Amino acid sequence: MTASEPFSESASKSPIAIGTDRYRMLAQAIAGQPLPLALLDLDLLEANAQAMLDRAGSLPIRLGSKSIRCVEVMQRVQALSPRFQGLLCYSAREAAWLSTQGFDDLLVAYPSIDRRDIEAVATPLAQGRRIVLMVDDAEQVTALAAQARALGVKLLLCIDLDMSMSLPGLHFGVRRSPVTTPAQTVALAQAIAAHPAELKLVGLMGYEGQIAGLQDALPGKAIKNAIVRALKRRSIVQLTARRCACVAALREAGFSLEFVNGGGTGSLESTREDSSVTEVAAGSGLYSPGLFDHFAAFHHQPALCFVLQAVRRPLPDVVTCAGGGYIASGPAGVDRLPTPYLPAGMTLLPLEGAGEVQTPVTLPQSTQLAIGDPVFFRHAKAGELAERFDHFLLLRNGAIVGSAPTYRGQAQNFF
């Protein structure tokens, strides 16, 4: 490796060995910017968006806002292709707010009967915006009907179909909806139809989380990968049959669906083969966080990262960065920690991980960092990083071209 001049004024007396050309380019691009910061490469974002379009076949893609959490990014991606249609939101109040930002065709992925949520949705509905709420239980239907009646609006609803697979001693998938059979689907649709003045069924969603979000090509895990891929193959057959059967049962019972939603970043190839699906949902693939590095069927580019500053050197091969404890949600484990990204070859210390106020990393033998130099990391999940930063710096062709406020930067917080 060759030595290069340091990138921070505080490190100007010490040479720095640069591990990769990309580290050199990114460090030069952000020189003089206050750290920590979040950096979004627009070229890689657009490449990932095109890859998602290719992987989805001819189906439209509803962007998952939870995995993006930046209005400008969603606008940029939707402008790339007319096949990016609508948003899959994670909160009813979020959907109501996004309607004020110019978005329409908003599907809320999770049920809510909170009065404030429904009141928030009522206003854009009265103004002609399209917001669809999720249900999976007749009690939710009864509560929503009462609130719709009190508010004088008609709520549009979507049924959440469970897409997990149960085996002896194993539940393969996420625990979302209790609706698993055609009979249960039709019964819930009939409960909605019992309130024709207040409610209307317009869609069905079947999210195959065990396909879309579970890595199956982890390094050094050959046996586990083989088991996961076998379970995925079996699950795809079962869930496709279930979704098709439920859609057919609804139609036979006289219900007309405007859309059937499925998929996720990790399952676009299989979801597009389901003839009952009219649209797929995806979002994480745009940023391509750490938890999407090891899928056998695809690989996207790491478009979003965050940058810390090296402020200590407790050992010759260790630097300690200020901040960095951006831990992802889900089951607690090493895979929820941020991943040291650049310079290449860094590792977290197993007994410290990523701390709220400091994060030490071990450097590979041939790499040196000076006090004040930038250290790049990737979050394990996609949109959650936006909760830590007011804006993303935008990179184009190796240069900063602007910034985009996150939800946090627009003073929006939904959970």
Domains of the chain: 3-42+300-410 (2.40.37.20), 90-284 (3.20.20.10)
Strands (E), 284-413: 304-315, 318-322, 339-342, 347-348, 358-362, 374-378, 391-396, 399-405
Give the number of other CB atoms < 10 A from CB of residue 125. Answer: 21
Return the residue matching tokens 């508010």: 151
pLDDT of residue 4: 37
> For 108-165, how does the pLDDT look when each residue is reduced to its tens digit (9 = 90+)?
999 999 999 999 999 999 999 999 999 999 999 999 999 999 999 999 999 999 987 7
pLDDT of residue 172: 62
Among 57, 23, 25, smallest CA distance to 279 is for 57
* CA-CA-CA-CA dihedral for 36, 49, 19, 380, to nearest 10: 50
pLDDT of residue 177: 86
Orientation of helix 115-126 relative to helix 92-100, angle to 10° = 30
DSSP notation for 239-291: HHHHHHHHHHHHHHTT---SEEEE--GGGHHHHTT-TT-SEEEE-HHHH--GG
pLDDT of residue 62: 98
pLDDT of residue 210: 63
Phi first, then psi, for residue 402 (nearest 5°) are 150, -165
Assign 385 to helix, strand or coil.
Answer: helix
Return d(Cα 384, Cα 415) in angstroms, integer: 11
pLDDT of residue 239: 84
Give pLDDT < 50 ranges for the chain.
1-19
Return d(Cα 377, Cα 293) in angstroms, integer: 14
pLDDT of residue 94: 98
pLDDT of residue 291: 87
